């Protein structure tokens, strides 16, 4: 393979990996799926010379699992801190609505408010308990962010092990 083409392939792959790493800590950006796209780009550009389907399916599975766990993490945090189904669903919906309407600040406020307000109004919890549940939702969110970063790094490690 031509050295210029090889460099191009590695630059494209590294660009996706860097975007995936950043996307793991920036809310709303799909970090692990970007890492997968980088591995897929490498595989396609090299004709699957060093990456087989088993590795690609493993990376795809890890990317999908990380996304599911990330979405569930805030709900788990709310539940762990005493949230009812109102707070759990409110946290998930509030985070999604906040992200769509107001980006990162909206997502954080949406996660918190989405857990607190339903608990106050529908779950009949006092203010202190509702605030604790909202804090749990934010802790779950932070845990999900850490989880996405770990998944992204693991995926990059699997890729490098397979290719090098």
Domain boundaries, position 12? 3-163
Identify the pLDDT of residue 18. Answer: 97
Which residue has 């949230």 as its token pair? 83
Q: Which residues neighbour 121 within 8 Å (Cβ) at sequence distance 6 or greater? A: none
In tens digits, the chain (164 residues) has pLDDT values of 799 999 999 999 999 999 999 999 987 788 999 999 999 999 999 999 999 999 999 999 999 999 889 878 878 888 899 999 999 899 889 988 998 898 888 988 999 999 999 999 998 899 999 999 999 999 998 999 999 999 999 999 999 999 99
Which residue has 């920036």 as its token pair? 26
Identify the pLDDT of residue 99. Answer: 85
Structure tokens, 151: 């998944």
Identify the pLDDT of residue 127. Answer: 92
CA-based R_g, the chain, Å? 19
CA dist 51 and 95 (Å) reads: 36
Q: How many domains, in total, are found in the chain? A: 1
Identify the pLDDT of residue 56. Answer: 97
Identify the pLDDT of residue 74. Answer: 78
């Amino acid at each position: 393979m031509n050295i210029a083409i090889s460099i191009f392939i590695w630059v494209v792959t590294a660009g996706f990996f860097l975007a995936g790493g950043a996307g793991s800590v920036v809310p709303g950006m799909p970090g692990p799926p970007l890492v997968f796209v980088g591995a897929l780009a490498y595989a396609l550009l090299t004709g699957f010379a060093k990456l087989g389907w088993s590795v690609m399916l493993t990376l795809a599975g890890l990317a999908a699992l990380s996304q599911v766990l990330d979405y569930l993490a805030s709900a788990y945090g709310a539940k762990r801190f005493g949230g009812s189904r109102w707070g759990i669903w409110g946290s998930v919906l509030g985070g999604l609505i906040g992200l769509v309407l107001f980006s990162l600040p909206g997502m954080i406020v949406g996660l918190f408010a989405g857990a607190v307000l339903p608990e106050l109004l529908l779950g009949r919890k006092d203010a202190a308990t509702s605030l604790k549940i909202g804090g749990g939702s934010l802790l779950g969110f932070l845990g999900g962010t850490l989880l996405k970063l770990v998944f992204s790094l693991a995926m990059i490690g699997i890729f490098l092990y397979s290719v090098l």
